[in-house]
Amino acid sequence: MRNAVFLVKNGIGFGHIRRALLIAEAIQHAGQLRPIVISQASSLALYRNTPVRVVNFPLLHRVPSAIAEDLYTDLLNRLLDRLDPAVAIEDTYPDARYRQLPSLADRPRLLVMRRLDGLSFDQIRQRGDFAHYDQILIAQDRDAFHQEGHTGDSLAAVESSGRFTFVGNIAHTPTREEAAAARSVYAAGGAPLVIVNGGAGGDQMPDGYGDRLFTTCQTIAARLATEGHPAQFVLVTGPYYAGRTLHDTANVTVRRYEPHLPALLAAADVAVIKPGNNALSEALTGTGQLVLVPDTSFMEGLHEHAHRTAAQIGAAVGTPDRDSLEPLIREALSRGPRVRRPAASAAAIDAVVRAIHDHAESTGPPEVPSKVLMLVLIAPGSTEPDKLRAQLPESLRNAVVLDSRHDDGVVGLASLNTSGPTTTTPGAPAAALVDCDPGVSPQRFVDQGVRLLIQTGPSSAVERWLRHQPPLPALFLTSAELVNARSGSPDVAQRRIARLLRSTATTVVLLDLRALPEAAVADYLTTLGEWLASQPLHLVGVDAIRAEQANRLLMGGLR
């Protein structure tokens, strides 16, 4: 059985490890691959109860950091070479250390990406870090992703590159029995249960978030106890907590690590949490009221995310200080069970498992792609575009026919790519021929389904139009070579196409048929199509050009 290697992030959090273990355990259950998690975590608490094999490298503190990093990288490379993985799965965001390992060169590689704020995502894309993966599995749904404030270029790359797949949220869903069992340990007799958690306990910034959160909640618990309030508090600090020492009291239980935290969060009457993906998802499976206390976060934008989430589910947002948290906790305790709960689903993990298996399967030797041509046909004035499409020979079925019948002066191009399903809306123009400022907003093009702009020469007017009114997602802009068809001389177009493809792997040719007599069009296209079919090239539609342009956005740099 071949290995599937999980390369997890390590630092001050547990969320990435918990997500990787959920997927790895599902892979192990499927029985087709052997999952192995490679880690460098300071705490092994999360790994104690997993059936998955784990290799955890120690943190080396007693040698200079550069030496420790070189040693770790060398050991990691030797280990991976020995494991010979069928597929490598990284989590959270790209890591340059893994990209440079010779042992991972040319192996199938997937990235399971948790929610990133728009700025961080765009910076990763501009550095070209996404280009090293065969597939990026986004652990969000499409609507949630669009709420992060992504740039037009990033949205266009995700939509059109073919590299990204939305799989939905990945988190453990505790059963009612698990939640009831966890609750019985800490709140016997039906006392209100308040769970406080700040993730694994590490501080993203030296602002004492963990210390402030837990000491504040212990003070609030003490005040409630003096008033005779029956609420029981459980402070799950996380193994990386480094704040002031906390002690159990009559109504406070302190746990550095709680293996059943997902069930405990689901069982809470009030959950006071740093709204990371796992804690928030697990708390939402229950009916407790939520008090979200965002911290400075690495590429998550937790403050903005907390307020969006609170507006959607009716939660409260506070800061880790008594003046903020005490009234919010009291208010939450006075309210009844939360009604709005997301439906539990295993679809996200199932989608990731399928992707891992697909990439791990041997597909034989790779093939060098042929040259790529998008051929755009301008119909003679007396010929309707639909009529021209109907008389295309089989060799030109993937050609694109110009359709000038759209409103607002938009010259649309309808893709006839029959090599696979189109990603555009049926009947909508997938591209537009634009050589001047059309006089309408670029966003209007996007809303009509246009994703690709084609021009036959440089146009400063078009560039200004796009720059001053950037749409979401961005419109791709490509140049086309204009060729005028001559009656009885298809060799003119043939020579031009051959010349263009000698110097590039992909080209777009706009073939104007308007000078041909209507009776000569069919023979001209048949001759041209037979010649194209004999050449080492692939005739494609609009979607293929969009995908190529989108993948260029993943290679780094700005357009």
Read off the pTM.
0.90
136 vs 384, which has greater pLDDT? 136
> What's the pLDDT score for residue 509?
96
Tens digits of residue pLDDT in 425-484: 555 678 888 888 888 899 998 998 899 999 998 889 999 999 999 999 999 999 999 999
Average pLDDT over residues 293-307: 88
Question: Rounded to 5 degrees, what angle do the CA atoms 312, 318, 323 make?
Answer: 150
Task: Say what the pLDDT of residue 63 is.
Answer: 65
More confident residue, 152 or 558: 152
- Give yes or no for residue 414 having a pLDDT over 60: no
Q: In the predicted model, what is the mean pLDDT of the chain?
A: 89
Q: In the prediction, which pLDDT does 384 show?
A: 83
Domain 176-343: which topology? Rossmann fold (3.40.50)
DSSP 22-81: HHHHHHHHHTSSEEEEEE--S--GGGTT--SEEEEPPP--SS-HHHHHHHHHHHHHHHHH
Backbone torsions φ then ψ of 469, nearest 5 degrees: -135, 60
Instruction: Indicate if the pLDDT at residue 381 is higher than 80.
Output: no
Average pLDDT over residues 224-231: 97
* 34-39 β-sheet, strand order: 53-56, 34-39, 3-7, 87-91, 109-113, 135-138, 164-166
pLDDT (tens digit, 9 = 90+) per residue, 246-261?
999 999 999 999 999 9
Mean pLDDT value of segment 56-84: 84
pLDDT of residue 420: 33
Q: What is the mean pLDDT of residues 538-558?
A: 88
pLDDT of 439 reads: 84
Domains 3-171+350-360 and 176-343 in one fold: yes
| Averaged pLDDT, 172-198 | 93
Q: What pLDDT, on a 0 to 100 scale, did the predictor assign at position 368?
A: 87
Domain residue ranges of the chain, discontinuous segments joined by + = 3-171+350-360, 176-343, 371-553
Is the per-residue pLDDT at 417 higher than 50?
no
487, 515 contact by CB (below 8 A): yes
Give me the residue label for tokens 């409630």.
224
CA dihedral (272, 273, 277, 282) positive or negative: negative
Q: What is the DSSP letter of 303?
A: H
- Considering the chain, what percentage of its residues have pLDDT values greater than 90? 69
* Architecture in CATH for domain 3-171+350-360: 3-Layer(aba) Sandwich (3.40)
Q: Write out pLDDT tens, residues 17-41.
A: 999 999 999 999 999 999 999 998 8
**Residues belonging to the chain:** 559
Residue 559: band (very low, low, confident or very high) from pLDDT cuts 50, 70, 90: low
pLDDT at position 533 is 95
Closest to 154 in 3D by CA, of 164, 141, 140, 166: 164
Q: Which of 52, 40, 22, 38 is nearest to 104 (CA)?
A: 38
Average pLDDT over residues 171-178: 91
pLDDT of residue 422: 47
Is it the case that residue 166 has pLDDT exceeding 80?
yes
| pLDDT (mean) for 185-210 | 88
Asked if the model's pLDDT at residue 60 lies above 80, the reply is no
Q: Is the pLDDT of residue 408 over 80?
A: no
* Helices and strands, number each (H, E), in the chain: 19, 22
Residue 380: band (very low, low, confident or very high) from pLDDT cuts 50, 70, 90: confident
